[in-house]
Structure 1
Amino acid sequence: MAHYEPPSTAERLGNALIRRLAEVGISIAGTRALTVRGRKSGKDRNVVVNLLTVDGADYLVAPRGNTEWVRNVRAAGEVRLGPRWHRIPARAVEVSDDDKPELLRRYLQKWHWQVKGYVGGLTPDSSDAELRDAAPSFPVFSLR
């Protein structure tokens, strides 16, 4: 079964507030509004994500695992990022598990304080082997 760490009620409420801020262009610690077409409904689904930029390339990392937005991105293959009035489309390509360890490390360096409760004990100081072992549990998408 695919890894998924559901948010608590308090986290859902906090995420809703942060998403609304991101949708009007206010970023908190690197947050961005993400819009993706729902795989079942076909309707736009909006979430807030932390956009990781490494060497000029943008990545979406799902620290909670196989979430609804991850499944929607896999089905749609494209997303839109940014505030309501200026959403930028991007193609989302899933990163192979072999290429994830360094991206996961960078993500944890920036947002460990926020995600430490649901990344299975990983830290920015986790070994390459630990990150490789964990890679299948954390979807990562390259945006193009």
Structure 2
Amino acid sequence: MSDMGTLPGWLKPANRVVKLLHRLGVPLGTIHLITIPGRATGEPRSTPVSPLTVNGRRYVIAGLANSNWAENARAAGHGRLSKGRGHEVIDLIEVTDPATRRQVMTAFPTEVPHGVQFFIRIGLVSSGDPAAFAAASDKVAVFEIRRGERSDG
């Protein structure tokens, strides 16, 4: 995986707005909040994500392979996925198989069409064409979401 650099400055304020709307119960399409323990502090860190299902398995994509939430997911291997007032404890398994990553990225524009603009704005792809997303599969982190084995206490 190559590192693309840093995320744009507008992303943190935008994520704050999405998290606030999420807490208020405003429906935001496929957007969920993923909460993962920080790798240094252990404190919960939340970020908006849009899970997608490919071949009966659920996945989530980090637009930058070295983003904080991706690094935290690698370190913790678990977290919580929330939508509205509902949540589930999850395990996060990084997908290293290039073919599976390409499949997931190819499906993204169809499964999460409102998320295409995000990938265009961060410079990962130039269009919503599935082939463009497939070509970028080595620049992102893909995690499979599985029902967690841990208690939520």
- Asked if these proteins are the same fold (TM beyond 0.5), I'd say yes
CA contact (8 A) 1:106 1:124 kept: no
Change (3 A) 1:42 1:17: same
Any stretches of 5+ residues in structure 1 without a counterpart? none
Q: Which residue does the alignment assign to 2:142?
A: 140
The residue matched to 1:126 in structure 2 has which SS?
helix
Residue 113 (1) aligns with residue 114 (2): no
Moved runs in structure 1, 4+ residues, more than 6 A? none
Deviation, structure 1 residue 4? 3.6
Q: 1:123 is aligned with what amino acid? A: G
1:21-32 map, 5 Å: 21-32=21-32
Q: 2:131 is aligned with what amino acid? A: S
Please give the root-mean-square deviation of Cα atoms over the aligned residues, in Å.
2.3
Deviation, structure 1 residue 51? 1.4
Deviation, structure 1 residue 104? 0.4
Distance 1:85 1:28 in 2: 13
Deviation, structure 1 residue 57? 2.2
Change (3 A) 1:55 1:25: farther
Percentage identity across paired residues of the two chains:
22
TM-score (normalised: structure 1): 0.82
Q: Which residue does the alignment assign to 1:17?
A: 17
Change (3 A) 1:24 1:33: farther
Greater share of helix: 1
Change (3 A) 1:5 1:106: farther
Deviation, structure 1 residue 122? 5.6
The residue matched to 2:104 in structure 1 has which SS?
helix
Q: 1:134 is aligned with what amino acid? A: A
Deviation, structure 1 residue 85? 5.0
Q: 1:99 is aligned with what amino acid? A: T
Deviation, structure 1 residue 113? 2.6
Q: Which residue does the alignment assign to 1:67?
A: 67
Distance 1:30 1:71 in 2: 23
Query: Number of aligned pairs?
Result: 140
